[in-house]
Amino acid sequence: MNEHDKRRCPRLKHRAKIRVFSPTHSEEFFADMRDFSETGVFLMCPADLIPELGASVEVQTTEIEDAPIRSTQVVRIEAGVGFGVEFS
């Protein structure tokens, strides 16, 4: 871990399709998970779909039928790559 890495939990690389829903804007889209930890996930998507820093979004994996929907907050943005969310 470097001095700029503020992660509290180790990340595990995993690819999965994730449903993202923004209750504020009533918008839904799908993103690709890059990695996850017990506190959040990083989602890759086109730049025009990246929510604003601090936005509340709900996420749900498409790998499991009737998977739980988790409330999250956008805590990190990588321009042109995607965004990281922390579970609420």
Mean pLDDT, all residues of the chain: 90
Question: What's at 1, amino acid-wise?
Answer: M
pLDDT score of 56: 96
**Residue 20 confidence (pLDDT):** 98
- Residue 68 tokens read as 């739980």
Rounded Cα gap, residues 38 and 26, in angstroms: 27
In tens, the pLDDT along 4-55 reads: 456 567 777 989 999 999 987 788 999 999 999 999 999 999 999 999 999 9
